[in-house]
Amino acid sequence: MLGVVKSVEFIWLDLNSVTQLSANLTKGQDINNCVPFVTQRQMTSGRYYPDEWMCDVYFSAGPIITAEHTDTASRIYLHIYVVEFDPNKVRVQQNSFNIPNSAGVTDTLPYELYDRDRAALVIEYRMSSGAPTESQYWALGAYLHTNKTDIVFTRNAGGGSTLAGHYYVFESLDGAFTTQHFTMAMIATNYDDQAITTVDLNKSWIATCSQKSTRNHAAPSATFTRVKFKNSGAVECDRRDLTSNITIYGQVVEHHDDTVVYRGQFDFTAPSTNEQEALPATVNEDYAAAIPTMRDGMCRDESGISFDYDRAFAMQMITGNGTTIDSWRATGTDNVNQRWQVIEFAPAPGYYFGGYVTELGSPAVRTIRAYHGETGEMLGETTSSGVGGYYYLETTYSGSQYIICLDADTDPTFNLLGYDLMVPTTISGG
């Protein structure tokens, strides 16, 4: 079954002595339909100031993607997967937000959600003023309110700082994917889990989670968390140390099309800076993305990292022509682990064929198939309607194809019919 994603593009940005850096998108994307998924690697050692490492990511006309941090003392590599959704099937809402010196705010969405259980939220943000290092000031949680009109942003305190960023809400219009919202809390413990309605793990992934913290200093050992599926009916989170109360907000996205999800874990043992795993199957990089379960590729500390964040983030990338997933972090004496997800989205239909099937002048129910004109690959199949004989067949390929109509299985009186050198019609808005 065809899916909801028109394109995926990988972008690598090197913020070296600059507060912001942009890159052109090359697939003709409509930025209004795009969502970025980000992992990072800090190239400057010994840095933990949030105004250095926290990056906002946003789009502008061009199409252009931009990453921005406030202080340039830390050099940051960003790996970004830009997912462009089909507007006929998914509504994307984007907007900027600003959290002043306060514990949080509530923003109203540009458009009310049709269905919260078909919508997911991703945020990217930076500390735009002030420089408190305590995680209670920089760790920002966010979730979609049950009223379907608001986004709630929450942190423990302001500390004289302002957070500025962008949010992205993507919502299925027809139920091609559904979402389950979860909140987990670690209060004087290093573990929590939450039951969810059972999902197909081969088609489900965790949208990048956000979190808030009560930590009064910057230690990743208590602040940096790992979120993953416990099983098909639960999600779970954990960390190393207990000296902060952590609340995590997230969503499980389950696809009901031909999307396939792979997942695993990187275990970095000092002094390793790179880990790689083979994917169970080769993915099409035009439609596949490496998406972290926690913001920016956050890792769970296994050694007791005191302050240096450069050793507690790792960036991810699909490599080997779609056969492997790689992760890189800064050199360090610490052991950390990181969850990875590779989502190979089912392509959105961009084109269609339409027509009528009749037999001896009467509408007929028949199987219709479209094939690539050069390779012979089958690109789509449908069944004509018994009411009028109309058929509508979606395809992702814009070039020449051939279409065949099969005779009835129960009464194969006639040979199949075929039309060669057929060019499909572009779906309006697609």
Residue 360 contacts by C-beta under 8 Å, 6 or more apart in sequence? none
Q: Which two tokens stand for residue 318?
A: 């699909």
Report how far Cα 105 is from the mean position of its chain's Cα atoms: 24
Query: What gap in Å lies between CA 110 and CA 95, rounded to an integer?
Result: 8
What does CATH list as the number for 351-426? 2.60.40.10
3-class SS string, 368-425: EEEEECCCCCEEEEEECCCCCCEEEEEECCCCCEEEEECCCCCCCCCCCEEEEEECCE
Measured in degrees and rounded to the nearest 5, phi and psi for residue 18 equal -135, 150
Residue 46 contacts by C-beta under 8 Å, 6 or more apart in sequence? 308, 310
Residue 353 contacts by C-beta under 8 Å, 6 or more apart in sequence? 368, 370, 391, 392, 393, 395, 401, 403, 422, 424, 425
Query: What gap in Å lies between CA 322 and CA 288, rounded to an integer?
Result: 8
In sequence order, the β-bridge partners of residue 262 are: 342
Query: Where in the chain are the domains?
Result: 5-344, 351-426
3-class state of residue 95 by DSSP: strand
Measured in degrees and rounded to the nearest 5, phi and psi for residue 115 equal -155, 115
**pTM of the prediction?**
0.85
- Are the beta carbons of 146 and 174 closer than 8 angstroms? no
Q: Taking phi first (over 0 means left), then psi (-120 to 50 degrees means alpha), and beta for anything else, what does residue 361 get?
A: left
Strands, DSSP E only, in 43-198?
Answer: 56-60, 64-68, 76-85, 90-99, 104-108, 119-129, 141-144, 150-154, 162-172, 177-186, 191-195
Residue 184 contacts by C-beta under 8 Å, 6 or more apart in sequence? 192, 193, 194, 227, 235, 236, 237, 247, 248, 250
Distances in Å between the Cα of 149 and the Cα atoms of 93, 165, 173 are 12, 19, 16
User: Can you tell me which residue has the tokens 């004509």?
Assistant: 384
3-class SS string, 322-342: CCEEEEECCCCCCCEEEEEEE
pLDDT tens digits in sequence order for the chain, 430 residues long = 679 999 999 999 999 999 999 999 998 899 999 999 999 999 888 788 899 999 999 999 999 999 999 999 999 999 999 999 998 889 999 999 999 999 999 999 999 999 999 999 999 999 999 989 999 999 999 999 999 999 999 999 999 999 999 999 999 999 999 999 999 999 999 999 999 999 999 999 999 999 999 998 878 899 999 999 999 999 999 999 998 999 999 999 999 999 999 999 999 998 889 999 999 999 999 999 999 999 999 999 988 877 778 888 999 999 999 999 999 998 878 899 999 999 999 998 778 899 999 888 888 899 999 999 988 989 889 999 877 889 988 887 878 899 999 988 777 778 788 999 998 887 754 3
